[in-house]
Chains A and B, each alone.
Chain A
Amino acid sequence: MNEIVIISGKGGTGKTSITASFSVLAGTRAIIADCDVDAADMHLLLKPDFAQSEDFFSGFKADIDQKLCMKCGKCKQVCRFDAVRNDDNFYDIIPLNCEGCGYCKEVCPINAITMVEQNVGKWYISKIKTDTFMVHAKLGIGADNSGKLVAQVKKEAKNLAQETKKEFVLVDGSPGIGCPVVSSISGADYVVLVTEPTLSGFHDMQRVHELIQKFNLPSGCIINKYDVNNEITDSIITFCEKNSIDIISKLPYDESFTAAMMHGKTILEYKDNKINKILIKSWGKLLNSLNKKD
């Protein structure tokens, strides 16, 4: 079983649209995982049934029992996150600032502080329109621990793929280079970088590539909207060649992606157009690269 993770560094390069298209091409051979947990969009194209859901608990927040508190202020003294407020001589926690480190609880002389585990989101296992399963999640509003929720989604997707003897797990990652991205690429077999030929897109791709190099992962690149700037496209290709990144394909600027999205469809299910042929070829090339790796 191979785990393929699709990331981009920069947001809005077409990562989710392309991952959803690959999901259609992989059909029942793959389990899909939407790891962009704080702005998950793949469900809008793949139509999950949300059949199975579970709460996700991770991290803690401090809570001061006002009846016990003797107002010594030790908790406020040790907190590095300005999470203890002292108003009118009573101490309480600002939940948004609390990191859940529990230092205050350790120093409270009368055990007036408890650490409460947080429900930070929900994850789902759904049947999707390609007759396979997708594992996806919704992070609670403003919650941290998105990296841990990503790890949970991936773990469930992997288990499911093993149980049902699938060939692939297709993972849609999140933008950036921080903890959710690190979580989504750890343990991957192959990383697909979706980029666009803009100074921002190229810069962000180089940063995320530097990250995947730390994990020593093989990668390939899809240049979306390549005709927006042919010069930068050429620079991206040169960069890929230098860094042994497989060049999977170049897609032209095409508003059909959006038109298909308006109908809740991937571009492959929309009408016949030239993008479809390139995507089918890209999927084939991606599988070839995976085989070469083994």
Chain B
Amino acid sequence: MKIAIASGKGGTGKTTLATNLAYLISQKSQVVLADLDVEEPNSKFFIKGNKIAEKNVLRMIPQWDKDNCILCGNCQKVCKFNAVIKLWEEVLVFNQLCHSCYACSELCPKNALPMKPHEVGKITQFKYNNLHFIEGTLNVGEEQAVPVIAQTLDYVKDKFCDDMLCFFDAPPGTSCPVIEATKEADYIILVTEPTPFGLHDLTLAVEVMRELKKDFGVVINRYGIGNDDVIRYCEEERIPLLGKIPNMKRAAEAYAKGELLSVAIPEIKTSINKIIQNLKVCEVLS
């Protein structure tokens, strides 16, 4: 079972929910947590553990071979991303614009644009008792998160068997990185806040999940701070409300220091356990 934790709005508590669910479940059984918020991965502050493996994320980028090039300009013609430009006697490759489609390279009549690996990020694996934690990180200055997310997911697939329970901490938003992080998941938990911003971005996230034909439920974090519009919305839309995590300044303080809230605050442990129970009722967890 693969469960992705996503949200439209950033800072609603995706990482809090993902790390605490994974931690509590790891008290009894093996579980994987993958941080797919590769632009700003934060799960590591809450899951300590030992580093057991590390791997670079590489992306293939064409590199101009001046000696073989006949300056025919076919590469520029086939590139839809303006990543390859022929300028007078020179071919320029813009790494950030390249989508690694290989078209320019393989359609070059002289093999003058061989594909070369280019490091765009890192995957690190940690182990904390029963909890296997995998972090994907995008290098600062690289713009495309999707290849790092895709390779982190491949890494998980490669290292763990299919029936392993996996949680994915997804990036915020509704665009391509979110799609990549959720498209392989069997179930999605959308985390929101009971505020107008939270509700608005939740409705966007719900549209995305419906478009992807995903099964999903909602968790309200910082419950008590705003109003009950999110609850009403979930009822109207018949979206299962999996649980509520109470709003407490004490939680913000524990979060700040990198403490797992289910360890630091008993009320929050209770609410996370309730979410686990509800996931069982929905037959997401066995």
For residue B226, give the distance in angstroms from its CB to the closest CB of chain A. Answer: 6
Contact of B195 among A78, A103, A147, A262 (CB under 8 A): A262
Please choose the segment from B127-135, B137-145, B155-163, B278-286 that sits at the chain A interface, where 4 or more of its residues have CB less than 8 A away: B137-145
Residues of A within 8 A of B (CB): 9-13, 16, 38-39, 41, 44, 60, 78, 80-81, 96, 99-103, 106-107, 115, 139, 141-144, 146-147, 174-182, 196-201, 203-204, 207, 210-211, 214, 225, 228-229, 232, 253, 255, 258, 261-262, 264
A sample of 12 cross-chain residue pairs with beta-carbon separation below 8 angstroms, ordered by A number, consists of A10-B11, A11-B172, A38-B204, A39-B174, A41-B197, A141-B174, A141-B211, A142-B175, A177-B138, A199-B256, A200-B42, A201-B256
How far, in angstroms, from A80 to B102 measured CA to CA in the complex?
8
Q: Mark B83-115, 1 if CB is under 8 A from A, else 0.
A: 000000000000010011111001100000000
Nearest-neighbor residue (CB-CB) of B201 within chain A: A39
**A103→B255 contact, CB < 8 A:** no
Nearest-neighbor residue (CB-CB) of A175 within chain B: B10
User: Which 6 residue pairs spanning A and B have beta carbons closest together?
Assistant: A11-B10, A12-B11, A101-B101, A176-B39, A103-B103, A11-B11
**B201→A255 contact, CB < 8 A:** no
On whether A253 and B256 interact (CB within 8 A), knowing A44-B196, A103-B101, the answer reads no
**B227→A262 contact, CB < 8 A:** yes
For residue A64, give the distance in angstroms from its CB to the closest CB of chain B. Answer: 17
Nearest-neighbor residue (CB-CB) of B77 within chain A: A106
A107: chain B residues at CB < 8 Å are 107
Kindly state whether residue B208 has any CB partner on chain A within 8 Å: yes
Known: A99-B99, A176-B145, A196-B256. 16 other contacts (CB 8 A): A10-B10, A12-B10, A12-B12, A38-B8, A39-B174, A96-B212, A102-B78, A103-B103, A103-B106, A106-B78, A142-B178, A142-B211, A147-B143, A198-B255, A199-B258, A261-B195
**A225→B11 contact, CB < 8 A:** no
Kindly state whether residue B164 has any CB partner on chain A within 8 Å: no
**B9→A207 contact, CB < 8 A:** no
Q: Mark B144-182, 1 if CB is under 8 A from A, else 0.
A: 110000000000000000000000000111111111000
How far, in angstroms, from A91 to B141 measured CA to CA in the complex?
38
**A39→B9 contact, CB < 8 A:** yes
For residue B252, give the distance in angstroms from its CB to the closest CB of chain A. Answer: 5
Kindly state whether residue B267 has any CB partner on chain A within 8 Å: no
Residues of B within 8 A of A (CB): 8-12, 15, 39-40, 42, 45, 78, 80-81, 96, 99-103, 106-107, 138, 140-145, 171-179, 183, 195-197, 200-201, 204, 207-208, 211-212, 225-227, 249, 252-253, 255-258
How far, in angstroms, from A44 to B229 measured CA to CA in the complex?
15
On whether A178 and B144 interact (CB within 8 A), knowing A41-B201, A258-B225, the answer reads yes
A225: chain B residues at CB < 8 Å are 252
A80: chain B residues at CB < 8 Å are 100-102
Contact of B173 among A38, A182, A211, A255 (CB under 8 A): A38
How far, in angstroms, from A260 to B197 measured CA to CA in the complex?
12
B212: chain A residues at CB < 8 Å are 96, 142
**B40→A204 contact, CB < 8 A:** yes
How far, in angstroms, from A207 to B172 measured CA to CA in the complex?
17
**A102→B143 contact, CB < 8 A:** no
B45: chain A residues at CB < 8 Å are 199-200, 203
A197: chain B residues at CB < 8 Å are 256
Contact of A199 among B96, B99, B142, B257 (CB under 8 A): B257
On whether A143 and B175 interact (CB within 8 A), knowing A229-B253, A253-B249, the answer reads yes
On whether A44 and B200 interact (CB within 8 A), knowing A176-B40, A178-B39, the answer reads yes
On whether A99 and B101 interact (CB within 8 A), knowing A9-B40, A139-B175, A174-B173, the answer reads yes
How far, in angstroms, from A100 to B96 measured CA to CA in the complex?
16
How far, in angstroms, from A97 to B47 measured CA to CA in the complex?
32
A182: chain B residues at CB < 8 Å are 96, 143
A38: chain B residues at CB < 8 Å are 8, 173-175, 204
How far, in angstroms, from A44 to B201 measured CA to CA in the complex?
11
How far, in angstroms, from A19 to B109 measured CA to CA in the complex?
52
A196: chain B residues at CB < 8 Å are 256
How far, in angstroms, from A210 to B138 measured CA to CA in the complex?
13
How far, in angstroms, from A228 to B22 measured CA to CA in the complex?
26
**B252→A211 contact, CB < 8 A:** no
How far, in angstroms, from A101 to B81 measured CA to CA in the complex?
7
Nearest-neighbor residue (CB-CB) of A44 within chain B: B196
Contact of A11 among B9, B78, B145 (CB under 8 A): B9
Nearest-neighbor residue (CB-CB) of A60 within chain B: B80
**A177→B196 contact, CB < 8 A:** no
**B197→A16 contact, CB < 8 A:** yes
A204: chain B residues at CB < 8 Å are 40, 42
How far, in angstroms, from A147 to B102 measured CA to CA in the complex?
22
B175: chain A residues at CB < 8 Å are 38, 139, 142-144, 146, 180
How far, in angstroms, from A10 to B252 measured CA to CA in the complex?
15
B208: chain A residues at CB < 8 Å are 141-142
For residue A214, give the distance in angstroms from its CB to the closest CB of chain B. Answer: 6
